[in-house]
Amino acid sequence: MQDEFLVTTTFFLVGAVVILSIIAWAIPVRLWIEAISAGVRVGIGYLVGMRLRKVSPPAVVRPLIWANKAGLDLQIGDLEAHYLAGGSVDRVVRAMISADKANIDLSFRQAAAIDLAGRDVLEAVQVSVNPKVINTPRVAAMAKDGIQLIAVARVTVRANIDRLVGGAGEETILARVGEGIVSTIGSSDTHKAVLQDPDNISKTVLAKGLDSGTAFEILSIDIADVDVGKNIGAELQTDQAEADKRVAQARAEERRAMAVAQEQEMKAQVVEMRARLVEAEAQIPMAIAGAFQNGNLGVMDYMKYRNIQSDTAMRQSIAGEDDSPTEESRS
């Protein structure tokens, strides 16, 4: 009998602990007391309903307490809806408190939209209060005299709350500033003019309104450093001269090849003419023999022909002997 009483008592105690744990989880009494003590009217039934709607009561009620203490009039239903939409209630409320202290007009609807757009609304408010400095990468540009300049700029920006939703980010600011620096340096007559007055780059770039369509407002653009790079103009001229030289060499080689081909063709023609001459000389004895047979050439005529040949050969021999010493004396 006593054993049955112990088992029953133990079972009852375990069941009571389980039931109390479920009740403590479903009914956040501590959170409800915390809200009531802070002056936030939240019904215990509403907290239970939040549990049933899979909403974490501390993630909604505690930011509501902060807002109430800061003097902001927020509704728990709006905070719960933002939580269900996947937003950060904590970050939104903190941003609204910071904006209120800095006298920045920021409504809950606007802050929630910025948060749901994927931007850090708290950081945006902080940047709006304390401007942010963005360092651009090294931007290389060439002046009209062909000298390359490498500039580094510091862009001071302030967040524009009204354009945070749908506005471009820091990458667009950096790209536009870099483009403006390249354009300004490229329009300068000499690189010395840029080095003498680098502030002219800042004024020219700032006057272009590069912050249009972005989530930031450009306050200033300061040129931090300007270095002299390569002489691009001289390198281009050198490359052009080298290219012209190669073209001239190619043309000269082409003309030389044509001359060699023409010389070989003339040599071939000389050989051909010599062959024709030898062929014609070979036909002379045959013609003389035919003249003998036909009676057109007599013996005396033939002897005169031979005498003329001998006389001609002798004269050529004498002329050759006379010319050779003359040429030697001249040399």
* Same-domain pairing of 96 and 211: no
109 burial via Cβ count (<10 Å: 0-12, 13-18, 19+): exposed
Chain segment 255-299, per-residue pLDDT in tens:
999 999 998 989 999 988 988 888 887 887 888 777 777 777 777
30 compared with 142, residue with greater pLDDT: 142
322/318 Cα distance (integer angstroms): 6
* Same-domain pairing of 95 and 208: no
- Residues 6+ away with beta carbon under 8 Å from 248: none
Q: What is the pLDDT of residue 321?
A: 56
Chain segment 152-167, per-residue pLDDT in tens:
888 888 888 888 777 8
Q: What is the pLDDT of residue 158?
A: 86
Asked if residue 165 belongs to a domain, the reply is yes
* Same-domain pairing of 177 and 119: no
- Residues 6+ away with beta carbon under 8 Å from 139: 150, 151, 152, 153, 178, 181, 182
Q: What is the pLDDT of residue 331?
A: 40
Asked if residue 262 belongs to a domain, the reply is no
Asked if residue 263 belongs to a domain, the reply is no
* Same-domain pairing of 94 and 6: yes
Mean pLDDT score, 225-244: 82
* Same-domain pairing of 79 and 193: no
* Same-domain pairing of 7 and 119: yes
Please say if the pLDDT value at position 5 is more than 50: yes
Asked if residue 88 belongs to a domain, the reply is yes
Asked if residue 27 belongs to a domain, the reply is yes
* Same-domain pairing of 94 and 138: no
Number of domains in the chain: 2
* Same-domain pairing of 99 and 66: yes
% of the chain residues with pLDDT over 90? 2
Asked if residue 293 belongs to a domain, the reply is no
* Same-domain pairing of 111 and 139: no
* Same-domain pairing of 152 and 185: yes
224/138 Cα distance (integer angstroms): 10
321 compared with 196, residue with greater pLDDT: 196
Q: What is the pLDDT of residue 4?
A: 63
Asked if residue 240 belongs to a domain, the reply is no
234, 268, 292 — which closes off a domain? 234
* 203: confidence class by pLDDT, cuts 50, 70, 90: confident
Please say if the pLDDT value at position 82 is more than 50: yes
Range of the domain at 140: 132-234
35 compared with 107, residue with greater pLDDT: 107
Q: What is the pLDDT of residue 217?
A: 85
* 328: confidence class by pLDDT, cuts 50, 70, 90: very low
234, 260, 279 — which closes off a domain? 234
Mean pLDDT score, 131-150: 86
129, 153, 177 — which closes off a domain? 129
Question: To 5 degrees, how large is the angle CA 24–CA 25–CA 26?
Answer: 95
Please say if the pLDDT value at position 327 is more than 50: no
CATH assignment at residue 213: 3.30.479.30
Asked if residue 101 belongs to a domain, the reply is yes
* Same-domain pairing of 125 and 136: no
* 316: confidence class by pLDDT, cuts 50, 70, 90: confident
Q: What is the pLDDT of residue 326?
A: 46
255/47 Cα distance (integer angstroms): 98
Mean pLDDT score, 206-226: 83
Q: What is the pLDDT of residue 25?
A: 56
* Same-domain pairing of 34 and 78: yes
Helix (H), strand (E), coil (C) string for the chain = CHHHHHHHHHHHHHHHHHHHHHHHHHCCHHHHHHHHHCCCCCCHHHHHHHHHCCCCHHHHHHHHHHHHHCCCCCCHHHHHHHHHCCCCHHHHHHHHHHHHHCCCCCCHHHHHHHHHCCCCHHHHHHHHHCCEEEECCCEEEECCCCEEEEEEEEEEEEECHHHCCCCECHHHHHHHHHHHHHHHHHCCCCHHHHHHCCHHHHHHHHCCCCCCCECEEEEEEEEEEEEEEEEHHHHHHHHHHHHHHHHHHHHHHHHHHHHHHHHHHHHHHHHHHHHHHHHHHHHHHHHHHHHHHHCCCCHHHHHHHHHHHHHHHHHHHHHHHHHHHHHHHHC
Q: What is the pLDDT of residue 61?
A: 86
Chain segment 12-69, per-residue pLDDT in tens:
666 666 655 655 555 666 777 777 877 878 877 777 788 778 888 888 888 888 888 8
